[in-house]
Amino acid sequence: MNEIEVKANVKDFDLLISNLKELGCVLSEPIIQDDFIYNKKGLDIKSGYHNTPVLRIRKQNNKILFTLKKNRSNELDCIEKEIEVNNDIILSEIIELLDYIKTVEVHKKRIKTNYKDYEICLDSVHDLGYFIEVEKMSNEDGNKIQDELFNFLETIGVKKEDRVLKGYDTLLWEKNNI
């Protein structure tokens, strides 16, 4: 299964939370996530990932998660593989021996909920602001699923002009390097 998501800036978090609760969504307690993103040495991030895997070490509560993401049709339509590990220092050394370098860190507070077969995340991202992500696991056409997901976002008050087409790692990298 592939992780397919859409993302948007959020201007009124409270309204969005109210709209989700009206749908019967139950919100999680806030989760703190610290992500360390690694890209292949020499990769021109400005040009996009072009099917080059991106590696991530995520520290979340008392867990350490290692994730590999590889784009399919775009940056928010990915093959994703994830596993829990117990030593982020050794994992970082392994990643660097594979010729990857740490390119960006993403620090966020996340609240999760589910609606039908969607996972919904409300994020406060350090240095970027507030966002909503809706994702679905599917092997279907990524663009078709992204249209479905954004149509859902519109039903809870998200506007087309607030849509974001890049991951937090790319947004932060661009903010700090362009």
Domain ranges of the chain: 2-177
**Cα–Cα distance list, 147 to 40, 135, 152 (Å):** 30, 12, 9
Cβ-based neighbours of 114, under 8 Å, separated by 6 or more: 25, 120
For position 45, what pLDDT does the model report? 74
| Cβ–Cβ under 8 Å, residues 106 and 172 | yes
Q: pTM of the predicted model, to two decimals?
A: 0.93
pLDDT digits (tens, 9 = 90+) for 8-37: 999 999 999 999 999 999 999 999 999 999
Low-confidence ranges of the chain (pLDDT < 70): 46, 48-50, 178
Which residue matches tokens 């663009």?
A: 143
Paired tokens of 143: 């663009």
The pLDDT value given to residue 51: 74
In terms of CATH, what superfamily is 2-177?
Hypothetical Protein Pfu-838710-001 (2.40.320.10)
Helices then strands, each counted (H, E), the chain: 4, 9
Amino acid 157: pLDDT: 95
pLDDT at 49: 62
CA angle 45, 133, 29 (to 5 degrees): 120
State how far the Cα of 88 lies from the Cα of 85, in Å rounded to an integer.
7
Token pair for residue 95? Answer: 């990643």
